[in-house]
Amino acid sequence: MNNNMPVNENGIIALLNVDEANYELIAKCDFGGAKLLVLKNGIELSQRWEREHLNLIAIISQSEVIAPSGVYLLETLQKIANFPDIPFFLLANKVTDNTNRVCLKTGVADVFRLPLRPNRLQIRANFLIQNWRKIRERSTIEKVGEYKTPLIKRIFDIVFSGTVLLCLSPFLLILIIIMKLESKGPIFYYSLRVGTGYKVFKFYKIRSMYVNADKRLKELKHLNQYSGTEGETKAEIDVNMLCDHCVKNGTSCQRLLYADDVSWCEKNYIKTRKAMSENAFIKLKNDPRVTKVGKVLRNTSIDELPQLWNVFIGDMSIVGNRPLPLYEAEKLTTDKYAMRFMAPAGITGLWQVEKRGKGEMSSEERMMLDNSYAETHSFTNDIKLILKTIPALFQKENV
């Protein structure tokens, strides 16, 4: 060990979403004896820290700046009670003046553009870990991009959700009995969803599907109404094929990628990967996983009633953009789509009202409506959307 290196023998550096190649580079760095802990995401980080009382001294996340594991994760960690104030580093492909400004305002310690230069990471990380407290004492970090619910909207949410839950409690009891007669399993369930500012929370619903329905999602992807043209979702990476540019010029591939014994054209790889991940939203037509009672619940949106509890405790609002599953949200991190996360997450919103009963809606239309709401929402417009939602609930559409 270099004698000039700081001593961090009892400290832990958390590595989030770091791929194997970058992990090998980071592992070569001398962090004064600090241990490296590989974690999948911020949720696992917070759970392990709370359960095991980890002595964290830094976090290194491989993520773009404006992404769930980027500045939004840092803002979430900053809100956790007693979570340590430690350097938060990003390994990103895209680094611009705008993203640097966002990082400075949100408190990111440093951003390293990929491909990673381990020597630079070692020098910067060790310096900031040792001097972080002094740096933080001398600077005031301003948080940006954080949506705060207006007081009148929050009061309305609490009164509305609390009143409806109280009035519908007898009906919910009858519904529980009917559901138990049709299918076994829990009445309520939750899934992790991404809401305002990429905040992850528990999203509650009444079960409308048979138990273990999520395990059948892959085999039913051909029913996805956001898939585009048939066969598009089955795109595969063309191996050992020349791109159009190489074919036109009559040359061998000038930009080959290698993995084990396989090689393929980088342009073809990027093109097909883009096609495979083009559609972020998943919604199945005539979903066979839905129970008979579940179809009625969905067509009348009764399965959404437990989300009133999410509204009551402040995770959501009555009106806003729908919170998304993690696998959808992670695909919507570009400037074009990230705007939707700068508005409140809600039970009903623009796309539910504007397009319901008018045929299928493309993912592009849905994202455009989400962005439109984020830019123009107000309490007056929210009341108008609530009034439009009531007749929309009874449109004959299998949603």
Say how far apart CA 359 and CA 362 lie, in whole Å. 10
Query: Does pLDDT of 130 surpass 70?
Result: yes
Say how far apart CA 99 and CA 335 lie, in whole Å. 11
Give CA separation, 160 vs 74, 144, 316, in Å. Answer: 32, 30, 13
Residue 281 C-beta-side C-alpha neighbours within 13 Å: 18
Whether 153 and 165 have beta carbons less than 8 Å apart is answered as: no
Residue showing tokens 């430690």 = 86
Q: Find the helix or strand (DSSP H, E) in which 191 lies.
A: strand 188-194
> Does residue 128 or residue 388 have the better pLDDT?
128
Say how far apart CA 287 and CA 279 lie, in whole Å. 18
pLDDT in tens, 289-320: 777 888 888 777 788 889 999 999 999 999 99
Query: Does pLDDT of 335 surpass 80?
Result: no
Mean pLDDT confidence for 5-24: 84
When pLDDT is cut at 50, 70 and 90, the band that residue 62 belongs to is very high
Number of H helices, E strands in the chain: 15, 12
Whether 64 and 46 have beta carbons less than 8 Å apart is answered as: no
> What are 312's two structure tokens?
């009551």
Kindly report the pTM of this predicted structure: 0.48
C-alpha R_g of the chain? 24
**Burial of 307 (C-beta count, 10 Å sphere; 0-12/13-18/19+):** buried
Whether 26 and 61 have beta carbons less than 8 Å apart is answered as: no
Range with top average pLDDT, 101-110, 230-239, 365-374: 101-110
What residue type is 94 in one-letter code?
A: K
Helix H segments across 62-197?
71-79, 97-106, 118-138, 151-182
Whether 111 and 100 have beta carbons less than 8 Å apart is answered as: yes
> What are 303's two structure tokens?
């399965």
Lowest mean pLDDT among 202-211, 340-349, 351-360: 351-360
Whether 41 and 17 have beta carbons less than 8 Å apart is answered as: yes
Mean pLDDT confidence for 202-211: 81
What residue type is 128 in one-letter code?
A: L
Whether 13 and 35 have beta carbons less than 8 Å apart is answered as: yes
Query: Does pLDDT of 74 surpass 80?
Result: yes
